[in-house]
Amino acid sequence: MPGMIRRAALALLLLGACSTEAPLPLPVPTYRDTDVAMGSIALFDPARYQGTWYEIAAYPVPFQRGCTDTRANYTLRPDGSLGVVNTCLRDGRQVRIEGRAVPDGPGRLSVRFGAVPFLSAPYWVLWVDEGYRTAVVGVPSGRAGWILNRDPQIPADRLAAAREILAFNGYDLSRLVPTQHTQ
């Protein structure tokens, strides 16, 4: 039971950091100028997005505090939604949270985690390279954002492109935190 309560609290923190509608349990910084218009990609293919993505850098949410080796795995479901499994290592132990991402417009998903089924958070895909090897994701509130790649090492040109996308969408690049991968 204590493990389930801890997972629910972690999920609530994660969703609270992303959602613009739920009250926040802790003060969460805003990493982008919300006066800058933010746009998701028009041609988003959930089937190509599925699979494993390694976090290269992030505007972290409380759930990620102390994490290394952060990754997300997306699985396309028959109803068109994506199953989501986020994992990281904290103090040498794997932390895991599972959820579901439902399409909510072009390049936009509404993510809900099982431990907190009544809250959903916006997840906007801002850019994916042509080969679906690198992606940039943000949230309208600016409380989170990620650079993702299909493996833990990202080529310099795609990292530069991802950073440009974040800046274009109002994100403060000086606050972007590189993710450590030890495995």
Looking at residue 73, what DSSP letter applies? Answer: E
Burial 42-73 (b: 16+ CB within 10 A, else e): eebebeebbeebbbbbbbbbbbbeebbbbbbe
Q: How many domains does the chain have?
A: 1
- Domain assignment present for residue 167? The answer is yes
Q: Does residue 120 fall inside a structural domain?
A: yes
Contact 122, 139 (CB under 8 A): yes
pLDDT reported for residue 20? 38
Is residue 33 one of the residues assigned to a domain? yes
Query: What's the half-sphere exposure (Cβ side, CA atoms, 13 Å) at 146?
Result: 22
Return the H-helix or E-strand segment holding 14: helix 2-18
Question: Is 183 inside any structural domain?
Answer: no
Q: Is the pLDDT of residue 27 over 90?
A: no
The pLDDT > 90 percentage for the chain reads: 74
Q: Is residue 87 part of a domain?
A: yes
pTM recorded for the entire structure: 0.83
Residue 19 has pLDDT above 50, yes or no: no
pLDDT of residue 115: 67
Tell me the C-alpha distance between 28 and 20, whole Å: 11
Return the number of other C-beta atoms located less than 10 Å from residue 117's C-beta: 11
More confident residue, 145 or 25: 145
Give mean pLDDT, residues 102-128. 89
Could you tell me if 161 and 57 are in contact, meaning their C-beta atoms sit under 8 angstroms apart? no
What pLDDT does residue 67 have? 93
Look at residue 170 and tell me if it is in a domain.
yes
Q: What is the mean pLDDT of the chain?
A: 86
List pLDDT tens digits, range 148-183. Answer: 999 999 999 999 999 999 999 999 999 999 999 987
In a domain, 40, yes or no: yes
In a domain, 147, yes or no: yes
Please give the structure tokens belonging to residue 169: 């969408």
CATH number, domain with residue 152: 2.40.128.20
- Domain containing residue 123: 2-178
